[in-house]
Amino acid sequence: MASPGVESSPPHSPPGMSANAPIPEPSPGGFYALHPDDPAYRVFIDSLDYLPPEDIRRVKAAVSFSDKAHEHQTRLSGEPYITHPLAVAGAVVEWRMDGDAVCAALMHDVLEDTGVTKAELAERFGNGVADLVDGLSKLDKIEFASHQEAQAENFRKMLLAMARDLRVVLIKLADRHHNLQTMSAVRPDKRRRIARETLEIYAPIANRLGLNTMFRELQDTSFRLIHPMRSHVLGKALQTARGNRKELLSRILDSIRSKMGEVGIQAQVFGREKSLFSIYTKMVDKHLSFSQVLDIYGFRVVVRDIPTCYLALGALHALYKPVPGKFKDYIAIPKANGYQSLHTTLIGPFGTPVEVQIRTEEMHHVAQEGVASHWLYKDAEHSGADLQIRTHKWLQSLLEMQSGDSSEFFENVKIDLFPDEVYVFTPKGKIMALPQGATPVDMAYAIHTDVGNCCIAARINHELIPLRTELRNGDVVEIITAAHANPNPAWLSYVKTGRARSKIRHFLRTVQNEESASLGERLLNQELKTLGVEPPEIPSAAWERLVKASGNRSIKEVFTDIGLGKRLAAVAARRLLAEDAIPVHTTPGSLVIRGTEGLAIQLAKCCQPIPGDPIIGSIKKGQGLVVHTHDCPAIRKSRSHEPHKWIDVEWEPSPGSLFEVRIDVEVKNARGVLAQVAMAISDSGSNIEHVAMEGDPEKLFTLLHFTIQVGGRAHLAQVMRNLRLIPQVVRISRLRSEAEA
């Protein structure tokens, strides 16, 4: 059974070809670099015996077509280029995938590296093959600002193709796997870059799809390419350890087999060796030497059915004592990639820790080949279908993260590929899998975007907790929402999932654009009034010309650009008036602000202006209007060197809101003085946001640093007057930072 994203083509007519369309035949003498009697070609053709005859003929035609398309191309090693597509197709055949997938693997580079078009492929091999090849081709005809941008955009294209058809990523992984194995002729810097990209992106994708064998091989090969000396030394150490521990391992293996037979369980028992990369990662993460890594070897017990898994677990715990807290039941709660097994760690002979995985044969197939087990094993069809549905949901969630910025999307997906997970419960008992370190905010967005946007608090195990709290396995989490709540920008500092990060950024960007459009309109209107023109006097044709000249789609987008500092209001105003006979009379004017407009108008952190302070503003690109006090030391240099960047701003007569300001209060040390100061601030109608203390060496005085909320300069003066009435208060000052703007 195929997932919604994977459709197998009917055996007699590939997608896009009519039932009566002729199947392409290899052209006469159609092998160029490849000979029909070539052993590699013969082995490949012989392995196609699971496909219907019609598909085998199409595959032969695809070999011929690919060989001709790459006729004059060689790999850096000097080999004919066709050897690479043939190797990739061989890996696809090992997964027993359909004819379309094999043809696409053979021709995966023809759109990118030759003059062949998608239309030509569709005509000869059908739309299904053409779509697969297109999904595998890079966007090499587009100019990108940097390699990172090109990488991110190509990755986005591949994910879109993956979401439509899972075969795309399986062919891509086979392609990357073969490329890594044949890197000897590639420049060392390029070799390392490709290997790092594989570790960051392709290996985690293989893991996320449950392709454990491919995942390990990609990791180990990348490790050898990035750190050739380290992998060589570690490989030799592992080989030595294998000989030294051979007797111990045989003893454990025999005792497990004997115990299974003793309790009447039919089981396959075999040892497994940890991969080089996983040993290296453990040594680095835990600062261990090779001799300190004791769990290099583990054991697998493969049994008939699920009840027998638990019987085998009981037998093993009777044989060797289990390590407390080291048991994991991935059968009851499978991993997101469909992996199922019981994991336990036992204390073996001589105190050696022994890791054992217990699973059924079907689970073993899925554990090794993941989504590919759907094609490989008929007995894993049910599990494979479940896994493909789960994978399809994951791919759809990746598509929901899309934003205008491909680099941001790339980063969000990388975050989402980390495999470590925690399992938590909703109040109704539904299990949710989240990344290690996830918070209630991540869970809220995993439930629904609206739940995340309206989240205000959470209960973990019936207790109210801060939203930044990390969730643990088994937590029961209740999300508390409020209808008018909005995402907090501070959430971005601690959310773990790419979905949550993407949704928060999307909301903030939308809100910022609305606020920036409003600010931009006010700035442009102010500039027009400064030129002695009222906005209603300007004809609609002038507004249309401005929109067209700016390259925007609407006047609102022009306002947004002005509010975000991407366009100067003065330039836009003069362009509006340039071709119209409107008399211009320059009159000075100031922009009136409340200070509570939101993201579009920011009060500078260095001087923290409050109503009553003389203020001035600067439009910063991407930030909007940043407001400083006139005497802010951080802007002196900029004001004198770039006066054109500054605009006059003034406060609205009655803002009616509270603003943060920092004050220092020096007091004589006396019992209860902090309480007196706090009471005086409170009695003045001000809130204390933060307080810190700094003592002197003689312990005669203490400097109190307060961040308080006031309504304006007059309110601050009242707070200071009340503080001076306290006998122990020696000095009060408003704090201004010397930080650069």
Please list the active-site residues.
112-113
Q: Choose among 482, 412, 495: nearest CA to 454.
A: 482
CA 674 to the chain's CA centroid: 47
Per DSSP, the three-state class of 544 is: helix
Longest dimension (CA), the chain: 106
How far is it, in rounded angstroms, from Cα 594 to Cα 656? 8
CA 329 to the chain's CA centroid: 27
For 6, the token pair is 């994977």
How far is it, in rounded angstroms, from Cα 557 to Cα 573? 15
Backbone angles phi, psi at 667, to 5 degrees: -130, 155
For 593, the token pair is 């602000």
- Return the bridge partners of 476, or none: 425
DSSP string, 564-612: TTSS-HHHHHHHHHHTS----------EEE-S-S-TTEEE-TTT---TT
Per DSSP, the three-state class of 687 is: strand
Per DSSP, the three-state class of 709 is: strand
For 279, the token pair is 């040993």
> Which H or E run includes 351?
none
| CA dist list (Å): 652 to 67, 464, 592, 610, 712 | 75, 40, 6, 11, 11
Give the alpha-carbon dihedral of 251, 257, 262, 264, to 10 degrees. 170
- Are the CB atoms for 7 and 375 separated by under 8 Å? no
- Are the CB atoms for 101 and 127 separated by under 8 Å? no
| CA dist list (Å): 649 to 589, 611, 612, 734 | 9, 11, 12, 22
Q: Choose among 459, 431, 462, 461: nearest CA to 447.
A: 431
Q: Choose among 294, 303, 291, 288: nearest CA to 274.
A: 294
3-state secondary structure 314-345: HHHHHHCEECCCCCEECCCCCCCCCCCCEEEE
**If 0-12 CB within 10 Å is exposed, 13-18 middle and 19+ buried, where does residue 266 land?**
exposed
DSSP string, 465-477: E-TTPPP-TT-BE
Give the angle subtended at the CA of 191 by the CAs of 187 and 194, to the nearest 5°: 140
Position 585, amino acid: H
Backbone angles phi, psi at 681, to 5 degrees: -65, -45
Give the alpha-carbon dihedral of 656, 658, 661, 666, to 10 degrees. 110
Q: Tokens 């009136």 sit at which residue? A: 592
- Return the bridge partners of 647, or none: 617
CA 376 to the chain's CA centroid: 31
CB-CB neighbours of 324 under 10 Å: 7
For 103, the token pair is 């043809």
CA 111 to the chain's CA centroid: 29
Q: Tokens 């059968």 sit at which residue? A: 331
- Return the bridge partners of 357, or none: 300, 343
**Residues 6 or more apart from 76 whose CB is under 8 A from it?**
185, 186
Position 626, amino acid: V
For residue 74, give the DSSP letter.
Answer: B
